[in-house]
Amino acid sequence: MLVFNTWHWWTHTGKDQPWDYVQDGAQVMKDMDRLTAFSKGMSTWARWVDSNVDTSKTKVYFQGISPTHFK
């Protein structure tokens, strides 16, 4: 089973942003539109799954919103 959990960190900006720079191909930038970055990330993930996971043997799940975090 492979679970890909994302979205939560894509929404962070300012001091809560967990990265300093984003690289898209050869271009390095300080930031990028969140929906554009999310789309590029999802496309990259989907290509990786298609190329590396035998889905007849492995279930792949995508969870778009993290569960609520307590303590």
Whether 26 is covered by a domain: the verdict is: yes
CA nearest neighbour of 10 among 44, 30, 33: 33
Whether the CB-CB separation of 2 and 57 falls below 8 Å is answered with no
d(CA 50, CA 54): 8
Whether 68 is covered by a domain: the verdict is: no
Q: For residue range 10-61, what is the model confidence (pLDDT) as tens digits?
A: 777 777 777 778 888 899 998 888 888 888 888 998 999 999 999 899 999 8
Whether 46 is covered by a domain: the verdict is: yes
Count of domains observed in the chain: 1
Range of the domain at 56: 2-63
What pTM did the predictor assign? 0.68
Give one word for 7, left, alpha or beta, with left for phi > 0 and alpha for psi -120 to 50.
Answer: left
Whether 16 is covered by a domain: the verdict is: yes
Whether 70 is covered by a domain: the verdict is: no
pLDDT of residue 49: 93
Whether 29 is covered by a domain: the verdict is: yes
Whether 54 is covered by a domain: the verdict is: yes
Query: Does the pLDDT value for residue 71 go beyond 60?
Result: no
Whether 69 is covered by a domain: the verdict is: no
